[in-house]
Amino acid sequence: MTPTQRHTYTGANGRKSLYELTTSSSHQELVVFVHGFMGFMDWGAWHLVRDFFTNAGFDFCRFNLSHNGGTPTEPIDFPDTEAFGQNTYSKELFDISSVLNHIESWHRTFQKIHLIGHSRGGGMVLLAAQQWQQVSPLGQVCTWAAICDIARRFPNGQELTQWQETGIRFVKNGRTHQELPQAFELYADYERNKMKLDIKAAAKAIGKRLHIFHGDQDAAVPISEAFELRDASGAEVSAIMGADHVFGAVHPWDKQQMPAQLRELCEKTLENL
């Protein structure tokens, strides 16, 4: 049995957050998984994704971004709405680098580190990979239902003006029914760091090392964004037919097997690692 341990790492603004590392002394390659917006590492069937890749011969790391709204003692859902409201894309990028550095400093080095990101996490792994490939052995980069552009995530016109004037807006989580805050700093940070946060430019820099996966029935992030990443990078798009944004999974997921579409996604991802 490959041992799984949970620890904390120090993310953006010195904030502690939880990570889980499943390791075996015989494995030489690591898969790091990054969750998306309003996500967390224990969402749905992500634990079965971990088991799939560890059974295939990889070590596996999943973690909570430092300002996703969870805490080290309450890592599921969004008990810390203040932290959620203070999140920015730059903080998420910092967190991914922090986790990678933490693993190499406190655990061990790997021959290759592969990155998988879901939804907003898919865009973030592209940005992180662009930086990481310059300093450490980077394997493959796989996006699952990824966003291709940050700017279009923001409101415009009067809604943007009102956000700036009030300093805060609220977004509803359809599952928990929470009205979660977002400080205007989320937008201001993007405006200050557009070059660093250009997902398509990162995709171009990564090139054929990128593998793009997307459900053709994704209503949250349309599959057209996958083809925009393809056009930027030259990588191919692998469509999961009939799959929604979460590839058939829900939270909580209490079944012993992954939904068929998520398993297909994992199998196709494995073929490219």
The overall average pLDDT reported for the chain is 96
Residue 2 vs residue 91, higher pLDDT: 91
Q: At what angle do helices 199-206 and 120-132 cross, to 10 degrees?
A: 50
Whether the Cβ atoms of residue 126 and residue 144 lie closer than 8 Å to each other = no
Please give the span between the terminal C-alpha atoms of the chain, in angstroms, as a whole number.
22
Q: What's residue 64's pLDDT?
A: 98
Instruction: State pTM to two decimals.
Output: 0.97
Whether the Cβ atoms of residue 255 and residue 42 lie closer than 8 Å to each other = no
Q: What's residue 135's pLDDT?
A: 61
**pLDDT band with cut points at 50, 70 and 90 for residue 107:** confident
Percent of the chain surpassing pLDDT 70: 98
CA–CA separation, 187 vs 239, rounded Å?
31
Q: What's residue 132's pLDDT?
A: 82
Query: What average pLDDT does this structure show over 87-97?
Result: 98
Q: Are strands 112-118 and 138-144 parallel, antiparallel or unpaired?
A: parallel
CA nearest 119: which of 55, 228, 263, 215? 215
The answer on pLDDT for 1 being more than 60 is no
What are the strands, taking DSSP E only, across 111-153? 112-118, 138-144
Residue 140, number of CB atoms within 10 A of its CB: 20
Q: What's residue 159's pLDDT?
A: 97
Q: Are strands 138-144 and 210-215 parallel, antiparallel or unpaired?
A: parallel
Domains and CATH numbers, the chain: 4-150+196-270 (3.40.50.1820)
